[in-house]
């Protein structure tokens, strides 16, 4: 079996992303494994996994995400999802058109405050740990980007949205904030991630299935550059090489003997190693 690859796992509800890693460690008999983009226990869907040398390449994966989110309006939740303590605000009485009118304020580059129950660290402490101790803390806003929001189903008190967004976007915060604008509160009832970069739910694996291994060159968003033997010897020793072809400033996958041996950057026709990979 190839010892370096990616997996597209469909995480079920009720377990953490780390639980998925623990199960896969046993299945694959490996310690070198990691995931991209944590999913809450309540959420399900696409969880990209890197194994072996691919753990070092997770940072290079495309990091936009697509979610299907079922929001319940009329209440707030301490966790912004179905697991928290609920507070009734009022019966939602807005129309489909009312909802359409406010959606543009949530699209594009916006400021978003993460939920208090999240793993973000402030002063070295996780927000969720601070919240559980009943301590107060000022949560700074972060800039995120929402590319598109579609209403898939409108049946109050529930509405289902499809949201295409940047890395770092909290869909729980979206539910909280849109409920606040509508004046009735809102929280996430159900959440599924359907895409993470090029990893799509329709191609995903359940943990109980035979695992489909994904080659790094099939998911990394870089052009391929094929090395001759002299170039390869220089690259594996961390040396710069001159490119055979003229290319703009960008990342490349360097290939030798049909294997990706390095992630490098090319600028002014000079290729500089970013990460050399083992065998």
Task: Please tell me the class of the 223-276 domain.
Answer: mainly beta
- pLDDT per residue over 191-231, tens digit each? 999 999 999 999 999 999 999 999 999 999 998 999 999 99
Is it the case that residue 1 has pLDDT exceeding 70?
Answer: no
Q: In this structure, are residues 185 and 73 in contact, taking their beta carbons and an 8 Å threshold?
A: yes
The torsion angles phi and psi of 71, rounded to 5 degrees, stand at -105, 135
pLDDT for the residue 3: 84
**CA 231 to CA 125: how far, in whole Å?**
47
Q: Tokens 């460690």 belong to which residue?
A: 25
Predicted pLDDT of residue 184: 97
Helix, strand, or coil here: 110?
A: strand
How much is the pTM? 0.91
CA dist., res. 11 & res. 233, Å (int)? 41
pLDDT digits (tens, 9 = 90+) for 66-123: 999 999 999 999 999 999 999 999 999 999 999 999 999 999 999 998 887 666 655 5
What's the confidence (pLDDT) of residue 245?
73
In the prediction, which pLDDT does 170 show?
93
- Is 268 assigned a catalytic role? no
Residue 136: pLDDT band (50, 70, 90) is: low
Identify the active-site residue in 19, 40, 82, 177: 40
Q: Which helix (H) or strand (E) holds 266?
A: strand 259-267
Task: Kindly report the average pLDDT of the chain as a whole number.
Answer: 90
The token duo for 279 is: 């065998």
Cα–Cα distance measured from residue 67 to residue 178, given in angstroms and rounded to the nearest whole number: 16
Examine domains 5-61+198-218 and 65-196 and report if their fold is the same.
yes
DSSP letters along 200-254, please? Answer: EGGG-B-TTSPP--B-GGGTS-SEEEE--HHHHHHHHTT--EE-SS---SEEEEE
pLDDT at residue 139 tops 90: no
Would you place residue 267 in the very low, low, confident or very high pLDDT band (cuts 50, 70, 90)?
A: confident
pLDDT above 80: residue 60: yes
- 144 vs 65: CA distance, rounded Å: 12
| Res 128 pLDDT > 60 | no
pLDDT at 249: 75
Q: Return all residues near 192 (Cβ < 8 A) that are at least 6 apart.
A: 43, 44, 45, 67, 68, 69, 201
**Confidence (pLDDT) at 238:** 83
CATH topology of domain 5-61+198-218: Pseudouridine synthase (3.30.2350)
User: pLDDT above 90 covers what percent of the chain?
Assistant: 71
Query: How distant is the alpha carbon of residue 98 from its chain centre?
Result: 30
Which residue shows structure tokens 């697991």?
A: 83
pLDDT digit string, tens, across residues 25-54: 999 999 999 999 889 899 999 999 999 999
* Token pair listed for 181: 């604008």
The CATH class of the 65-196 domain is alpha beta
Domain chopping of the chain, boundaries: 5-61+198-218, 65-196, 223-276
C-alpha dihedral over 15, 21, 22, 27, to 10 degrees?
A: 120
């Amino acid at each position: 079996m190839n010892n370096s690859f990616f997996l597209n796992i469909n995480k079920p509800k009720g377990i953490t992303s780390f639980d998925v890693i623990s199960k896969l460690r046993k299945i694959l008999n490996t310690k070198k494994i990691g995931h991209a983009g944590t999913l809450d226990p309540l959420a399900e869907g696409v969880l990209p996994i890197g194994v072996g040398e691919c753990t070092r390449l997770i940072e290079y994966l495309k990091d936009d995400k697509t979610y299907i989110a079922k929001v319940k309006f009329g209440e707030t939740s301490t966790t912004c999802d179905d697991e928290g303590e609920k507070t009734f605000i009022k019966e939602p009485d807005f129309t489909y058109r009312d909802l359409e009118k406010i959606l543009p304020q949530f699209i594009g580059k916006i400021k978003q405050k993460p939920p208090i129950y999240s793993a973000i660290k402030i002063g070295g402490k996780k927000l969720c740990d601070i919240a559980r101790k009943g301590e107060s803390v000022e949560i700074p806003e972060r800039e995120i980007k929402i590319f598109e929001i579609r209403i898939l189903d409108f049946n109050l008190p529930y509405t289902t949205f499809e949201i295409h967004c940047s890395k770092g976007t909290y869909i729980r915060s979206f539910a909280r904030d849109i409920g606040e604008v509508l004046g009735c509160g809102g929280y996430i009832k159900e959440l599924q991630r359907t895409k993470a970069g090029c990893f799509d739910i329709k191609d995903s694996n359940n943990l109980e299935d035979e695992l489909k291994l994904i080659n790094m060159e099939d998911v990394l968003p870089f052009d391929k550059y094929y090395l001759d033997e002299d170039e390869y010897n220089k690259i594996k020793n961390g040396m710069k090489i001159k490119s055979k072809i003229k290319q703009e400033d960008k990342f490349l996958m360097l290939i030798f003997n049909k294997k990706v041996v390095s992630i490098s950057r090319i600028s002014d026709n000079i290729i500089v190693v970013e990460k050399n990979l083992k065998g």
